């Protein structure tokens, strides 16, 4: 996962004390939408486990994804160290994240290209069954 979607981390993570102890995020998990405060010192996997515990969900095989971007909060990085989270805080907007299951992201190889099929249901209503095809050079 990290090789296909490398984490976008700020270049100076040591200045995180300027951003407070919690960040408010808008989170979508299945059809459930929540606004939650996440401790900024948690790693992305710890934050996902914390949210799962609060919502009574199972986080096994899940990832936090930025809504509307091919960007995931993966790796052993604190929530506050992701560029997207800081960007939203700086412009005084609530970061929007969605929990996706690893099986909703498939990788196909064809003609020196890697295609990522991400089900539209991640972005749109669950009624949609078509898939977006996004190509990346190796």
What is the full DSSP assignment across 90-137? HTT---EEEEEEGGGEEEEEETTEEEEEEEGGGTS-TT---EEEEEEE
Strand partners, 95: none
The DSSP 8-state label assigned to residue 31 in this structure reads T
Instruction: Please give the chain's pLDDT, 138 residues, in tens.
Output: 444 555 667 666 566 556 778 999 999 999 999 999 999 889 999 999 999 999 999 999 999 999 998 888 988 899 999 999 999 998 999 999 999 998 776 554 444 444 444 444 444 433 333 343 444 333
Instruction: Tell me if 111 is assigned to some domain.
Output: yes
CATH of the domain at 132: 3.10.20.90
Residue ranges making up the domain that contains 97:
21-137
Instruction: Tell me if 12 is assigned to some domain.
Output: no
CA dist 123 and 111 (Å) reads: 28
Q: How many independent structural domains does the chain possess? A: 1
Instruction: Tell me if 67 is assigned to some domain.
Output: yes
The helix/strand/coil state of 6 is: coil
Contacts of 14 (CB under 8 A, 6+ apart): none
The candidate with the shortest Cα–Cα distance to 39, out of 50, 52, 55, is 50
pLDDT of residue 128: 36
């Amino acid at each position: 996962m990290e090789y296909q979607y490398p984490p976008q981390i700020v270049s100076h993570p040591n200045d995180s004390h300027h951003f407070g102890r919690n960040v408010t995020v808008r989170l979508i998990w299945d059809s459930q939408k929540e606004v939650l405060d996440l401790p900024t010192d948690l790693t992305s996997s710890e934050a996902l486990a914390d949210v799962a515990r609060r919502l009574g969900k199972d986080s096994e095989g899940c990832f936090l994804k930025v809504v509307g971007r091919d960007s995931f909060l993966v790796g052993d990085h604190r929530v506050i160290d992701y560029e997207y989270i800081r960007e939203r805080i700086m412009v005084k907007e609530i970061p929007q994240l969605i929990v996706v299951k690893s099986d909703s992201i498939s990788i196909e190889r064809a003609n020196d290209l890697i295609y990522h099929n991400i089900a539209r249901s991640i972005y749109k209503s669950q009624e949609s069954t078509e898939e977006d095809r996004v190509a990346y050079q190796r």
